[in-house]
């Protein structure tokens, strides 16, 4: 059921702008600050699963610790009846995936300039003990229409480094084309898996395609 026009907490949901395996993302208005925000609402059926609720809460705690120019800003996390939601800065400069689909391979200097921003953001997150686990072009957006300021937007698969030996059973967490071999085999991962994924993104920006593709992981 669409939540457009409804209010969660103080945030009025205006437009559905995306959806993923865990949540719908809405453009919304914060009336107190008179600004547009993004509200990520967990799928209702997942709220009945305690493990997914805890995972969603971990995402909120992970994002709240990150204050970096190339990581989406966290605003709020709350629950209203059976609806759990995150509130983040609203970014509308488009995704790196869409940009690459339009431009194809980028000049090496431009690709390096973009990857340096993202590498700095990842280094910062790793210093905070957070592993992203899902670095890919669709999770990278631009703050500006000139596509020079990239931002990591989705820490939906983030794990605190203290839990790096925890594996996800019965599923693969991430996107196969960008995942490290150990992640594909559901083995213990650390910060190096993020670096591997970022390397795949750099390769795609320079060459125009990912280095590996297949019908199955």
Which tokens is 26 given?
């809405």
30 assigned to active site: no
Q: Is 60 helix (H, G, I), strand (E, B) or coil?
A: helix
Q: From its phi and psi, is residue 104 left (phi > 0), alpha (psi between -120 and 50) or beta?
A: left
Contacts of 132 (CB under 8 A, 6+ apart): 122, 125, 152, 155, 157, 158, 194, 197
Q: Is 19 helix (H, G, I), strand (E, B) or coil?
A: strand
DSSP letter string, 138-189: GGEEESSTTS--EEE---TT-EEGGGTT---TTS--S-GGG--HHHHTT---
Which tokens is 42 given?
């967990």
Structural contact between residues 198 and 211, judged by C-beta atoms closer than 8 angstroms? no
Q: Give the active site residue among 30, 89, 98, 134.
A: 134
Write 112-116 long-range contacts (CB < 8 A, 24+). Answer: 112/202, 113/148, 114/148, 114/150, 114/205, 115/198, 115/201, 115/202, 115/205
What amino acid positions are annotated as catalytic residues?
134
């Amino acid at each position: 059921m669409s939540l457009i026009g409804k209010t969660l907490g103080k945030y009025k949901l205006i437009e559905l702008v995306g959806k993923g395996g865990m949540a719908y993302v809405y453009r919304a208005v914060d009336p107190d600050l008179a600004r547009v925000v993004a509200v990520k609402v967990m799928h209702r059926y997942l709220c009945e699963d305690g493990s997914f609720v805890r995972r969603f809460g971990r995402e909120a705690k992970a994002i709240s610790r990150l204050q970096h120019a190339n990581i989406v800003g966290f605003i709020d996390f709350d629950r209203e009846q059976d609806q759990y939601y995150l509130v983040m800065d609203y970014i509308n400069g488009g995704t790196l995936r869409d940009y690459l689909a339009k431009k194809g391979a980028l000049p090496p200097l431009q690709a390096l300039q973009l990857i340096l921003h993202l590498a700095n953001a990842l280094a910062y997150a790793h210093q905070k003990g957070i592993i992203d686990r899902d670095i890919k072009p669709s999770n990278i957006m631009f703050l500006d229409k000139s596509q020079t300021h990239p931002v990591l937007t989705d820490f939906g698969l983030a794990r605190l480094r203290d839990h790096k030996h925890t594996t996800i059973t019965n599923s693969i967490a991430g996107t196969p084309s960008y995942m490290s071999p150990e992640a594909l085999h559901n083995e213990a991962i650390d910060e190096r898996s993020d670096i591997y994924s970022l390397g795949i993104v750099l390769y795609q920006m320079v060459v125009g395609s990912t280095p590996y593709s297949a019908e199955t992981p």
